[in-house]
């Protein structure tokens, strides 16, 4: 299966992707996680992306398309779920071209729909582990010990772009540049819209029901 998972910041894309790869044999490719990895390693790409990410703007298409298509082409021959890419119509067009060249196609585009007030609470309450990338929430998904990662005991941090001010900018970017991607896919593909305001397990059940139909 080849899946694209769309949705506003905080819609739960990363959370649902972890459930998906836990059940189905596929690779999770998150453009945000890959960029954060570049930043942590201090690569040129990471340095170029930093100011865009911290202000809630999109990293330029040229950088992202090359980075993601390279990962997709090098991916093992199992399915993949794309999280955070494509995020502009231009990125979607470039992805389509690359898939045609490699004789692949997308099986489903999932759009996680979530209200703005929910986004704000989820993002400002999110805490992440700087070492393993595990994601928690101060209310919805607490670690066993307050402020500490369950897996490796490292102190949790708040992402620099998870402040209320930057979330407003990220949402604006989302409406202007990513909502048109949903319409782009609706013209040709199988777009499945899911109410992502519900709790994570309920969203997962609805999502798995859709994916199970494809697997059969």
Give the separation between CA 155 and CA 127, rounded to whole angstroms: 10
For the chain, what is the largest distance between any 2 Cα atoms, rounded to a whole number of angstroms?
49
By CB under 6 A, name the one of 4, 6, 13, 28 that touches ligand AP5: 13
How far apart are CB 216 and ligand AP5 at their closest, in Å?
Answer: 26
Which residues share a beta bridge with 28?
81
Please indicate whether residue 2 is annotated as part of the active site: no
**Cβ of 160: how many Cβ atoms within 10 Å?**
12
Select the span of 99-107, 146-154, 181-189, 195-203 touching ligand AP5 (CB under 6 A). 195-203
**Cβ of 40: how many Cβ atoms within 10 Å?**
12
18, 171, 211, 212, 213 from 216: Cα distances, Å:
21, 36, 9, 6, 5
By beta-carbon distance, which residue lies closest to ligand AP5?
32
- As a whole number of Å, the CA-based R_g of the chain is 17
Binding mask 152-191 for ligand AP5 (x = CB under 6 A): ---------x--------x---------------------
Please indicate whether residue 71 is annotated as part of the active site: no
Please indicate whether residue 122 is annotated as part of the active site: no
Please list the active-site residues.
Answer: 13, 87, 126, 159, 170
Contact residues toward ligand AP5 (CB under 6 A) are 7, 9-15, 31-32, 35, 52-53, 56-59, 64, 84-85, 87, 91, 122-123, 126, 135, 137, 140-141, 161, 170, 196, 199-200, 203
């Amino acid at each position: 299966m080849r899946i694209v998972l769309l949705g506003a910041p905080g819609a739960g894309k990363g959370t649902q992707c972890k459930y998906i790869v836990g059940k189905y044999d596929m690779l999770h490719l998150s453009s945000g996680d890959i960029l954060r990895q570049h930043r942590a390693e201090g690569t040129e790409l990471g340095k170029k992306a930093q100011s865009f990410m911290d202000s809630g703007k999109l990293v330029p298409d040229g950088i992202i398309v090359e980075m993601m298509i390279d990962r997709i082409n090098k991916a093992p021959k199992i399915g993949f779920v794309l999280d955070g890419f494509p995020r502009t119509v231009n990125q979607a067009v470039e992805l389509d071209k690359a898939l045609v060249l490699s004789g692949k196609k997308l099986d489903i585009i999932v759009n996680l729909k979530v209200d703005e007030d929910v986004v704000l609470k989820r993002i400002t309450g999110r805490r992440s582990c700087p070492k393993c990338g595990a994601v928690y929430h101060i209310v919805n998904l607490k670690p066993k010990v307050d402020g500490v990662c369950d897996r490796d005991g490292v102190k949790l941090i708040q992402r620099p772009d998870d402040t209320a001010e930057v979330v407003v900018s990220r949402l604006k970017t989302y409406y202007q540049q990513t909502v048109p991607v949903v319409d782009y896919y609706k013209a040709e593909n199988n777009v499945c819209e899911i109410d992502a305001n519900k709790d994570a397990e309920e969203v997962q059940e609805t999502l798995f029901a859709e994916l199970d139909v494809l697997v059969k």
